[in-house]
Amino acid sequence: MKNSFLSFFILAFISPLQIIADTIGSDALVQKIDIQQTLNNGDRVACLAALNNGFTINSGSTVTFDSIFPVSGNVELNNETIILTSDLFFGNGATVTSFGNIIGNNHAVELSTSTTLLTCPQESNIILDNVTLFLAADTTLEKCNVTISGETTIHGRGNTLILEPSATIIADSDATLLLKNITIKGINGKRIYGTDATSTISLENATWILDNDFTFATGTLSVLGAFTIAGTNDFTFSYESAAQSNIYEHGNLIIKDNITFSYAPSIADKTLINMTANTSKLTLKRATLHTTPIGMILTRGILLVTNNTTIINEGSNNTEAVIFGDGITQDNNLDVQIMPSANLNVGQGFLVYKNI
């Protein structure tokens, strides 16, 4: 009997601790929680739980957030996963001190003005899935390789997202990332890209500031509003994707600040920058439009030249030229508008204007 009891005691002592999932707060009565709440795997923050001192997610845990109240205090996602069944609001003074996976289920995360840094505990891969992330201040992203899945939006509300060298943003297969009302700094190398031709990065009132040469190697760009590519020096934005990108009705792709837009797709296709409507616009403002010997054709829409602009084409004949319009149908007649005091110069190669 004594040995049996001792054996039971030892087994109980060395067995892993079983943590039972819990519901934090109540769905029936408001419950204020004034200490930082530790969330374990399977835990759920209830509808009427008011977390007044933030929360932290334990290692290896996936938790569910269903509260209608703003969260105050420090929030530590710790590279773990939070599933939203309600919008997640951060109150004044609330700070995300550690970022992680967010499964949005088409809900929103609204950061507070005190969150100016989104960082992972160590350089990590995280997922933003079907969520709208609202910035409330200029925000730095570091040590996070963010994969976008589903239909996800980063809404800047006029603020700036700064990408540190340890940060990337990748649109997954069949995913759409909308970048809206935002400026993004730290663009260089291959910092933002798609996984394959089914990956889409949509842009609406967005500005990318290059601090070195940048290559868009895979995926599709969808220009829904103004999309400005600017820089701090004479850098190159190289379009090397084999997928077609579209400038939609009232969309405006603006190249400025001595940036070179280099059309260098990985396949021999002249038509991968497509203006879909007569109001689609490509604006060149003190910029260079460069093409490899593949050449390029722009049909439909408006080409607006507002400052001195240069075309450099590596083609050796008219079939490898930069071509404006198709000379066949009115709908494919590019409207070239050169503003007073602006110049459109052909520095090298061939430019063919097929007007009707």
Q: Over the stretch 116-125, which tens digit does the pLDDT of each residue have?
A: 999 998 889 9
pLDDT reading at 22 higher than 50: yes
pLDDT reading at 2 higher than 60: no
pLDDT at res. 326: 76
pLDDT at res. 320: 95
pLDDT confidence band for 10 (50 / 70 / 90) = very low
pLDDT confidence band for 355 (50 / 70 / 90) = low
pLDDT reading at 16 higher than 50: no
pLDDT reading at 331 higher than 80: no
pLDDT reading at 17 higher than 70: no
pLDDT at res. 329: 66
| Segment (H or E) for 13 | helix 2-14
| Percent above pLDDT 70 for the chain | 92
pLDDT at res. 231: 95
Rounded Cα distance, 63 and 81, in Å: 6
Which is more confident, 54 or 11? 54
Quick: pLDDT tens for 229-280: 999 899 999 999 999 999 999 999 999 999 999 999 999 999 999 999 999 9
pLDDT confidence band for 98 (50 / 70 / 90) = very high
User: Chain-wide mean pLDDT for the chain?
Assistant: 92
Quick: pLDDT tens for 190-224: 999 999 999 999 999 999 999 999 999 999 999 99
Q: Where are the beta strands (DSSP E) in 111-244?
A: 117-134, 139-149, 151-155, 160-163, 168-171, 176-189, 192-194, 200-216, 220-223, 226-231, 236-239
Contact 40, 59 (CB under 8 A): no
pLDDT at res. 13: 39
pLDDT at res. 20: 60
pLDDT at res. 122: 84
Exposure of 29 by Cβ count < 10 A (0-12 exposed, 13-18 middle, 19+ buried)? exposed
Contacts of 7 (CB under 8 A, 6+ apart): none
pLDDT confidence band for 333 (50 / 70 / 90) = confident
Rounded Cα distance, 87 and 69, in Å: 9
pLDDT at res. 7: 42
Mean pLDDT of the 27-54 span: 96
Mean pLDDT lowest among 8-12, 16-20, 77-81, 207-211: 8-12
pLDDT reading at 354 higher than 90: no
pLDDT reading at 290 higher than 90: yes
pLDDT confidence band for 24 (50 / 70 / 90) = very high
pLDDT at res. 328: 65
